[in-house]
Structure 1
Amino acid sequence: MQKLLATAIAAAVSGTTPISDDTAGPSLARILSAIRTHLGMDVAFIAEIVGGQRVFRYVDGHEPSGLVRLGESAPVEESYCQRVLDGRLPPLLTDACLNAEALTLAATRALPVGAHLSVPIRLQDGRLYGTFCCFSLRPDDSLNERDLAMMRVLAEMAAAQIQAEQQERDAVQQIERRLDAVLGADGLRMVYQPICDVQGGRVLGFESLARFASEPYRAPDVWFSEVAQLGRQIELESRAIRLALMALDDLPSEVYVAVNASPDTIVKGDFSRLLAGQPLQRVVVEITEHRAVERYDEIAAVLRPLQREGLRIAIDDAGAGYSSFRHILNLQPEIVKLDISITRAIDTDRSRRALAAALCSFAEQTGSSIVAEGIETQGELDTLKALGISRAQGYRLGRPMPLQQAQALLH
């Protein structure tokens, strides 16, 4: 039994179980189960005290009356918990039916309560969260201060996990509030970075990029990463795509707009409706996903009909990892975007030049075109032109800019 308890404690301390409403339970439940079994109790539970109510957050064991049920609540004043907290009852009772104060509680005789242990759970700042309790339906004279000390140690461990859970929940709520504020107050705007024909010296299109009006400043990739954790990535990406495509009305008909979309947005985001009514021959969808994708058939089922109407697909960050090559092979894009990790210092690095040349050859044989990203120096630009790459974007050619500035650039 000691081994079981030690295993439960080790699992909790290791932090291998994530803290959330759905996943914190197993770790705390293991602690409850281990201490209940170790002490020979019928029920162990963790209760939160909220607004004068005792709410059972975690419960292990069973008692026939059903007074202790997960998620249910009862007035804390009618509980052992409150009486232990204010000192009317000791934290350890070997037989509650022999204690006059305990006998004032209806549950004492109704269950009946035999042995009972209860210790407070206090968070890091000293606030009382609730109590950690065990009881049996029979007296147990073998219980002692060592058992109570063990309960206190486990209560501290539970407090640490509960605090982490609350901090995570608060962080999620903060992200939700930030996102709602940005979306509700038109705090999302789009900027446009030119994609140029470097041989002919003209702008072919613009990649649309999201910018957020919020304080303090947070980089766009941080926004999208956090929103993805909330499960609201599709909502944000769809909003950005709708805003980006509005620029088509203000740009010349020969200029295209590239929008970024994840596989989830394409498959689950009603993507066809999102592009309905748009001049698809002027739209490029850049698939932004740096991980392996297992749903290529589903992605293709959405995109192929749109491609027949003129939509073009681009694979972003080619050469940045194995996943980008899988995307190219499975989705057969019209455009392959050479990642900045290849173009950066390509004029001084033979290996980068060799890889870029290989991708150029691949693109030529598959009927796709190359766009080099992240061009910042004239040397990089000259080297890419020498390799036969005629399309590029980067600070050397133009920074992301508001739509009005993009219009001015064209004129």
Structure 2
Amino acid sequence: MRQAIWNRLARPDAGEASLSEDLQSLLYSLRRHLGMDVAFISEFCEGRRVLRVVDAGGSAECPKQGHSDPQEASYCRKIVDHDLSGIIPDASLHPVTRAMPVTRELNIGAYLGVPLQDASGEVFGTFCCYRHLPDASLDRRDLALLRIVADIAGRQIEKRFRERREEDAILARIEQVLEREAVAIVYQPIYHLGQRRVVGYESLARFSAEPYRTPDVWFAEARRVGAGERLEMLALRQALAALEAFPESRYLAFNVSPDHVISGAVARALAGRESSRIVLEVTEHDRIEDYAAFREAVAPLRARGVRLAIDDAGAGYASFQHILELDADILKLDISLIRELHRDRRRRALAASLIAFARTIGCEVIAEGVECREELETLREHGVNKVQGYHIGRPMPLEAALGFAPADG
């Protein structure tokens, strides 16, 4: 038989807590409706019947979660093996149950139980309830209700099991990348139109592991399995290693998650680095639950000369919230604003408003996603001096970035 489901769900997280709460609620409702004293979900594991979720209204007499018995000594196994019916109105009168020690140990009077199955039809446990006194009123309708509720519970458990199995596979991939430090960094140039030179680079992570996944998927999956900080800090350290290779007149920009700024992980990674050449970018896609905590965490870095940029400005509500809350040094106009800027008056109007706003608050503007000469010229007309995008240069390895000179600026 496969590995026990609850062993696969043994890593605590919010998802598992939610599952336990949902199952507890199901048991409570069922127990109250049927007038039972105890309801539980069991799992068959290594020859034993283990109680995984139990509801008994706080009764001290009931077995606790984790209680186990040999499978062959339990009602659960006998119900699954069809040695017992799922309805037992009086366990003291039934020829099988009256001789079983568990009947006296748990003070079972009346009992209802049905198997729990996964999506393949394999039985992995039972969904049961009992009361301490006999109940001659139990009938097939009660058993039918139990089966319906058990089916709901089984689907919930199976869904979480599949999610956990998927998360285990994700974590294995992430751990392999972390162990091998298999993150490649490429650098996209940021060009100053007035000075006609490259003034900085945005560092971007790339992953070569198969099957191919875009970097945003890698980082999102790492966050899902609790490895987000480790993967992001690996990418940050890899990118920082190139800082000394670039001329002192050029800076490096890094995408960082607000949570990792607040936790202090970013500050630890930047310790001892030349802060005035570092820009931290917070993107539209990163929610900040506590702006005050973020400002407090980033303040010592900014005092050392680290600059703060809001990436993807104009892409959605979150970027505008960042603009209002963070007092950033740099505003990066999102590609969704820049694309076809020379042809779309609505985009030009919004871009012009953001540019004017940035000037008012003393914030520098960088336009990213510049992909053609016409877009560049329109930005120049609006007074934007710094641009980034395929028209200037694609993300490239360090060696190519060191010798890069744009053909069109």
Settle same-fold status: TM greater than 0.5. Answer: yes
1:246 to partner: Cα distance = 0.6
Which residue of structure 1 aligns with residue 315 of structure 2? 320
Contact 1:285 1:311 in 2 (8 A): yes
Cα distance in 1 for partners of 2:299, 2:332 equals 20
Q: Which amino acid aligns with 1:316?
A: D
Picking from 235, 252, 262, the partner of 1:267 is: 262
Cα distance in 2 for partners of 1:69, 1:364 equals 65
Moved more, 25-34 or 73-82: 25-34
Matched, 1:124 2:122: no
Q: Which amino acid aligns with 1:327?
A: H
Q: What are the within-5 Å matches in structure 2 for residues 179-218 of structure 1?
A: 179-218=174-213
Which residue of structure 2 aligns with residue 167 of structure 1? 162
> RMSD of the alignment, in Å?
2.1
Matched, 1:134 2:152: no
- SS state at 1:399 partner: coil
1:163 to partner: Cα distance = 0.7
Cα distance in 2 for partners of 1:306, 1:215 equals 37
Cα distance in 2 for partners of 1:62, 1:380 equals 68
Q: Which amino acid aligns with 2:91?
A: A
Cα distance in 1 for partners of 2:388, 2:59 equals 71
Is the alpha carbon distance of 1:106 and 1:65 closer, same or farther for their aligned partners in structure 2, counting shifts above 3 Å?
farther
Moved more, 118-127 or 283-292: 283-292
Cα distance in 2 for partners of 1:167, 1:313 equals 40
Cα distance in 2 for partners of 1:293, 1:40 equals 47
Cα distance in 1 for partners of 2:281, 2:48 equals 53
Matched, 1:74 2:72: no
Which residue of structure 2 aligns with residue 144 of structure 1? 139
- SS state at 1:22 partner: helix
Contact 2:109 2:132 in 1 (8 A): yes
Cα distance in 2 for partners of 1:305, 1:151 equals 59
Cα distance in 1 for partners of 2:58, 2:85 equals 22
The number of residues matched between the two structures is: 394
Is the alpha carbon distance of 1:63 and 1:144 closer, same or farther for their aligned partners in structure 2, counting shifts above 3 Å?
farther
1:337 to partner: Cα distance = 0.4
Cα distance in 2 for partners of 1:356, 1:110 equals 75
Picking from 329, 336, 342, the partner of 1:334 is: 329
| Superposed CA offset, 1:229-271 (max 9, x none) | 3333222222211111111121111111101112111111333
Contact 2:284 2:315 in 1 (8 A): no
Is the alpha carbon distance of 1:41 and 1:340 closer, same or farther for their aligned partners in structure 2, counting shifts above 3 Å?
same
1:66 to partner: Cα distance = 4.5
Contact 2:229 2:265 in 1 (8 A): no
Q: Which amino acid aligns with 2:41?
A: I
- SS state at 1:401 partner: coil
List gaps (5 residues or longer) in structure 1.
Answer: 1-17
Cα distance in 2 for partners of 1:388, 1:47 equals 69
Which residue of structure 2 aligns with residue 247 of structure 1? 242
Matched, 1:88 2:79: no
Moved more, 284-293 or 143-152: 284-293
- SS state at 1:20 partner: helix
Is the alpha carbon distance of 1:63 and 1:26 closer, same or farther for their aligned partners in structure 2, counting shifts above 3 Å?
closer
Q: Which amino acid aligns with 2:404?
A: L
1:43 to partner: Cα distance = 0.9
Which residue of structure 1 aligns with residue 7 of structure 2? none
Picking from 365, 370, 375, the partner of 1:380 is: 375
Is the alpha carbon distance of 1:325 and 1:86 closer, same or farther for their aligned partners in structure 2, counting shifts above 3 Å?
closer
Which residue of structure 1 aligns with residue 350 of structure 2? 355
- SS state at 2:102 partner: helix
Contact 1:337 1:371 in 2 (8 A): yes
Which residue of structure 1 aligns with residue 6 of structure 2? none
Relative to the length of structure 2, the TM-score reads: 0.91
- SS state at 2:116 partner: strand
1:292 to partner: Cα distance = 5.4
Cα distance in 1 for partners of 2:197, 2:59 equals 80
Matched, 1:35 2:30: yes
Which residue of structure 1 aligns with residue 397 of structure 2? 402
Contact 1:97 1:109 in 2 (8 A): no
Cα distance in 2 for partners of 1:141, 1:352 equals 75
1:167 to partner: Cα distance = 0.9
Q: Which amino acid aligns with 1:145?
A: R
Contact 2:264 2:297 in 1 (8 A): no
Contact 2:56 2:62 in 1 (8 A): no
| Superposed CA offset, 1:249-301 (max 9, x none) | 21111111101112111111333222111111111111124365353332222
Q: Calculate percent identity across the aligned residue pairs.
A: 44
Is the alpha carbon distance of 1:349 and 1:62 closer, same or farther for their aligned partners in structure 2, counting shifts above 3 Å?
closer
Which residue of structure 1 aligns with residue 341 of structure 2? 346
1:397 to partner: Cα distance = 0.9
Cα distance in 1 for partners of 2:99, 2:270 equals 69
1:143 to partner: Cα distance = 1.0
Relative to the length of structure 1, the TM-score reads: 0.90
Q: Which amino acid aligns with 1:46?
A: I
Q: What are the within-5 Å matches in structure 2 for residues 40-55 of structure 1?
A: 40-55=35-50
Contact 2:187 2:203 in 1 (8 A): yes
Q: Which amino acid aligns with 2:138?
A: L
Matched, 1:99 2:91: no
Contact 1:238 1:269 in 2 (8 A): no
Cα distance in 2 for partners of 1:32, 1:39 equals 11
